[in-house]
Amino acid sequence: MRESRYLQEIRGLDPVADHRRIVYLDVCFEFPWDTTRALELALFRTFAVPSIAALLDSTGEFGRAAQKRYDDTDLILSTIVEAGYDSDQGKRAIRQMNRIHGRFAITNEDFLYVLSSFVFEPIRWNARFGWRPLIETEKIATFEFWREVGRRMAIEEIPQRYEEFERFNEEYERREFRPTEAARRVGAATRDMFLAWFPGLPRRLGAPAIQALMDEPLLEAFGFPRPPRAVRAAVEAALRARARAVALLPPRRRPRLRVRRRTRTYGRDWALEELGPA
């Protein structure tokens, strides 16, 4: 397996002092596709929490504009990661995110859980499907990055240690994940949005493939049927085959920036202060 010049640079960096640079290298050069898929799954997991699902369902956003909400969230988070939370663009993105959240009654614990999912789902995804494993420096840097973002969101009681935050994430899911009608509606709307990206793929094939990436508590919360074992095995095999192929490619020369991509909602014409519900 190749060791890219980016990993060589990361090995020489401090995971606390240099966490912004490490996360930028990972997200924009080493694992752009994997990070996107992992954060999609991370957001999916938050919908299994009854209080979060009820809030999202009450806005009606998912029923009428799931793709817009996806693009809004993607562009805000991508700006924070790609520009840096302390850049002008990053500060504007966090202000806009806080403005959107400020319209709703969201508990600090729910904010903590969502923040923890941004830390640990990419790490877990990479352990399963990444083209190389993350080293400890990258894991700690990811934790430090999102902890700093959380502070700028005025989230309280963020754990000081990686292990404490991981334990919070696991215990919260065990305690809170359960099926509700709101979770079923929001989960189904999000799954159907993903299916709409592949109009030529029959639903009977696409839906089980998406569900194959979910664990039992998540499937139960959304009321999704358990995918056949053969489908789960095929999806996981395909992702691992992709990882082996990516490991053979030369290092990326230019950063893969999602803020420059053409979105389904806005094309390339958007402004941070206009993202989110009207």
How many other C-beta atoms can be found within 10 angstroms of the C-beta atom of residue 133? 11
Token readout for 160 is 């000081």
Residues sharing a CB contact under 8 Å with residue 24, sequence separation 6 or more, in sequence order: 81, 82, 84, 255
Residue that has been written with the tokens 């990361």 in this structure? 10
**DSSP letter at 273?**
G
Residue 1 has pLDDT above 70, yes or no: no
Distances (CA, A) of 80 to 108, 171, 199: 21, 28, 31
Token readout for 62 is 């998912």
pLDDT in tens, 197-226: 999 989 999 999 999 999 999 999 999 999
What amino acid occupies position 32? P
> What is the structure's pLDDT at 34?
98
pLDDT in tens, 61-98: 777 899 999 999 999 999 999 999 999 999 999 999 99
CA atoms within 13 A on the CB side of 43: 19
Residue that has been written with the tokens 């002008």 in this structure? 88
Residue 134: phi, psi to the nearest 5? Answer: -70, 140
3-state secondary structure of 267: strand
Residue that has been written with the tokens 């000081």 in this structure? 160
How many other C-beta atoms can be found within 10 angstroms of the C-beta atom of residue 103? 10
d(CA 50, CA 46): 9
Distances (CA, A) of 178 to 46, 127, 171, 173, 219: 11, 26, 13, 9, 10
> What is the structure's pLDDT at 15?
98
pLDDT in tens, 131-176: 999 999 999 999 999 999 999 999 999 999 999 999 999 999 999 9
Query: pTM of the predicted model, to two decimals?
Result: 0.95
Q: 3-state DSSP: the chain helix, strand, coil percent, rounded to 5?
A: 70, 0, 30
